[in-house]
Amino acid sequence: MIIIRTPFRFTLGGGGTDLPAYYSRFGGFIFAAGINKYMFINLNRPVVDDLIRIKYTKSETVESRDDIQHEIARAAMEMTGVENSLEIVSMADVPAGTGLGSSSCYAVGLLNAIHTMKREHIPLERLAEEACRLEIDVLKKPIGIQDQYMAAFGGLTVLDIDKDGRVGIRPANVSEETIDDLNKNLLMFYTSTQRDANKILAEQSKGADSNKKNVVENMHYIKDIGLKILAAVESGNITDVGLLFDKHWEYKKKISNKMSSPRFDEIYSIARQNGALGGKISGAGGGGFFVFYVENNHSRFREVMKMQGLREMRYRFDFEGTKVLVNFMDGVRYIEERLDNESNKNRRSRLVAFRLRNKRRLVQTRHSRCRF
């Protein structure tokens, strides 16, 4: 058994400039934060048959890889050369369609799990590249490339994207004090609205690809604001983050009429009237989470948002990225290989004892859950 933990993210600046239609002409920039809300992938190889079992919101049991309905799981198995005899179970702290990069978390986590099963050490950058190739080139999703890199690396991370698609990755230079202040002042609230980001991103990509003036110009402004947000965070002047969020909100809404809605505009206005310096909606827009920058009277602000029907999600930043929490496969293989070279005496009892010890360790494993 292998268990992989992969962090969700929210974007602080530059969102949308990681779309191929934009960065291939102008270069892209992303500043984002991994958070301690996770996608968990549990992978196991059954010993009694060669079936493929996949459990998510649905449950699949198939004989052939080609019959898998979950497109990311099917593509990941094809990419890594795994044909059958696999069980994949996924769980997440937040639902899909909420703008925190869930599909890429699944892709990165599953690729990490399969490579771990095959004893292949894959650098995080290559893992992100594989996930990009899987989602964008193989599955033809109209998405950007930030989610895959943020799922792999986590942290407060800067992505500089060249026109040819090469990505420069570095951690933002942020003090511990500033990190604590950001965690305190950036408040996340769930709108209880889920949406299909592909439609919004496809429209945005089409506008950038066809050189639609208002789309391209607004994305230029968004990139420039993202650079200023990074500068504010690295200098410790985080009050500017809230003010820049407010400018970002206005430019973002001009790109597509699907970015917001009358109800979301109303929530944003109420937030501004009650202490938020600015805010943004997660991911492509249209639903998911609001992130507001609030410096004072946090308790009162939380109460106002609660009255609007929004549920807060408390979080901390994640600096570990995708991570192997449990890997019992290597241990079992090691014992079995050693036992093959020994006499039959005590062979079964020793293997049973080894597996019992691992089972006890698994029971003791704990992970953080989403607290609304």
| Range 26-33 average pLDDT | 97
**∠ Cα 113 115 116 (to 5°):** 60
Question: pLDDT band for position 203 (50/70/90)?
Answer: low
| pLDDT at residue 366, rounded to an integer | 47
**Is position 326 within any domain?**
no
One domain, residues 101 and 183: yes
- 155: domain CATH number? 3.30.230.120
**Is position 333 within any domain?**
no
How many domains, in total, are found in the chain? 2
One domain, residues 166 and 58: yes
One domain, residues 74 and 175: yes
| pLDDT at residue 329, rounded to an integer | 81
One domain, residues 217 and 89: yes
Q: Over the stretch 266-304, which tens digit does the pLDDT of each residue have?
A: 999 999 999 999 999 886 556 789 999 999 999 999 999
The residues that bridge with 158 in the sheet, in sequence order, are 31, 170
- Mean predicted lDDT score pLDDT of the chain: 88
Q: How far apart are CA 285 and CA 152, in angstroms?
A: 23
Q: Over the stretch 156-174, which tens digit does the pLDDT of each residue have?
A: 999 999 999 999 999 999 9
Domain range spanning residue 353? Answer: 338-364
**Is position 159 within any domain?**
yes
One domain, residues 213 and 348: no
One domain, residues 130 and 266: yes
% of the chain at pLDDT higher than 90: 73
Asked if 104 and 151 count as a contact pair (C-beta separation under 8 A), the reply is: yes
One domain, residues 257 and 346: no
Asked if 34 and 9 count as a contact pair (C-beta separation under 8 A), the reply is: yes
Residue after which a domain boundary falls, among 312, 328, 352: 312
One domain, residues 157 and 289: yes
Residue 102 burial (10 A CB sphere; 0-12, 13-18, 19+): buried
**Is position 323 within any domain?**
no
**Is position 286 within any domain?**
yes
Residue type, 183: N
Question: pLDDT band for position 179 (50/70/90)?
Answer: very high
One domain, residues 50 and 162: yes
**Is position 324 within any domain?**
no
Asked if 237 and 273 count as a contact pair (C-beta separation under 8 A), the reply is: no
One domain, residues 228 and 344: no
Residue after which a domain boundary falls, among 296, 312, 328: 312
One domain, residues 244 and 346: no
**Is position 325 within any domain?**
no
One domain, residues 264 and 347: no
**Is position 134 within any domain?**
yes
